[in-house]
Amino acid sequence: MQKYGLIGDPIAHSKSPQIQNAALQACQINGQYTLLNTPGEAITTIVERLRADNIAGFNVTTPFKQAIIPFVDSLDVSAAQIEAVNTVKNINGQWVGYSTDGAGFWQSIPGDITGLNIALIGAGGAAKAIISACPSDVNLTVFNQLSPRFTSHQVELQRLFACELQPLTALEPVLPTVDILINATSVGLTDDQSILTLAEVGQLPPHALVIDLIYRQAQTTLMQAAVQTGHGVMGGLPMLSHQGALSFTIWHDQPAPLTVMVAALTNDGV
């Protein structure tokens, strides 16, 4: 049986096992996907065990997406550009690192996005993945809250993507022109905070879609504000499904059963 799984901390809440195991079963692949580490376990200990187990492939989430890089043998272009890995494949004993987060996000957006004005809030790992895979036919502008790290984020995005990072205060004047608003920050992850106020969300045009990459059972405060102002919303689960499908394709060299993977999340009541 081929072994697959996820490393990260915390990971007990992860939906990846249910979507990947559903896909393995649907494709009649003799494999199993599990959570691969315990809380507080060091990355060196995890890597030693996975190599000893001859793991076939695994996903990587916070806080190991950068920490895993010294332990892989090579990087795909996607992972090298954003300097982070979320998928590792064992190819004849050689570990190759990939990033499917960005491509998975863009594939998760419904409809034609050609020519749309898209505002992305955030400058961390998720934001970088999204920027790196951004289609050339959309107009993406990136904003982030002013903080002691703002300048370093600004320099990093310019170095990696020739992308200009603007302060969040610059977003309000252009809200009426935004077709899709994306929150790629952790604001609202564990509380009822929102990256934008209800009044600010209300300045978006009626057709605008608000995407919050945070995934949990209840809508975030930002999503609630969007619903209240009559806008469409999307949480983080579609991105999870699509990036997981891309990981599946990398590991198994065949198309992923995306419908099955999405249904596995839906059946969980999320």
pLDDT band at 140 (very low <50, low <70, confident <90, very high): very high
Q: In the chain, how many domains are there? A: 2
Residues 15 and 110 in one domain: no
Binding site annotation covers 61?
yes
pLDDT of the residue at 60: 97
230 annotated to a ligand binding site: no
pLDDT tens per residue, range 59-110:
999 899 999 999 999 999 999 999 999 999 999 999 999 999 999 999 999 9
Average pLDDT over residues 187-195: 88
Q: Are residues 57 and 147 in the same domain?
A: no
Confidence of residue 188 (pLDDT cuts 50, 70, 90): confident
Above pLDDT 70, what percent of the chain?
98
Burial environment of residue 262 by CB neighbours within 10 A (0 to 12, 13 to 18, 19 or more): buried
- The amino acid present at 20, given as its one-letter code, is Q
Same domain for 52 and 35? yes
The set of residues, in sequence order, having a beta carbon less than 8 Å from that of 64 and lying 6+ positions away, is 7, 8, 9, 43, 46
Q: Are 65 and 174 in the same domain? A: no
* CATH at 172: 3.40.50.720
Predicted local confidence at residue 268, as pLDDT = 55
67 is in an annotated binding site: no
Three-state secondary structure of 210-235:
EEECCCCCCCCHHHHHHHHCCCEEEC
132 shares a domain with 29 = no
Q: Are 135 and 116 in a shared domain?
A: yes
252 lies in the same domain as 230: no
Q: What is the CATH number of the domain that holds 22?
A: 3.40.50.10860
- Domain hosting 108: range is 103-235
Both 83 and 204 in one domain: the answer is: no
Distance (Å, whole) CA 204 – CA 228: 12
| Contact in structure between 240 and 264 (CB atoms under 8 Å) | no
CA distance 78 to 75: 8
Residue given tokens 């995306």 in the structure block: 258
pLDDT of residue 269 exceeding 50, the answer is no
Q: Say how far apart CA 22 and CA 39 lie, in whole Å.
A: 25
If asked whether residues 87 and 131 sit together in one domain, one would say no
Distance between CA atoms of residues 238 and 107, nearest Å: 9
Q: Is 126 known to sit in a ligand binding site? A: yes
Residues 61 and 124 in one domain: no
Same domain, yes or no, for 70 and 87?
Answer: yes
CB 138 within 8 A of CB 118: yes
Same domain, 64 and 174: no
Name the residues annotated as catalytic.
65
User: Tokens for 102?
Assistant: 């960005």
- Residue 89 annotated as part of some ligand binding site: no
Contact at 8 Å (CB) between 178 and 204?
A: yes
What pLDDT score was predicted for residue 217? 66
Is the whole model's pTM more than 0.85, yes or no?
A: yes
Identify the band that residue 270 occupies on the pLDDT scale cut at 50, 70 and 90: very low
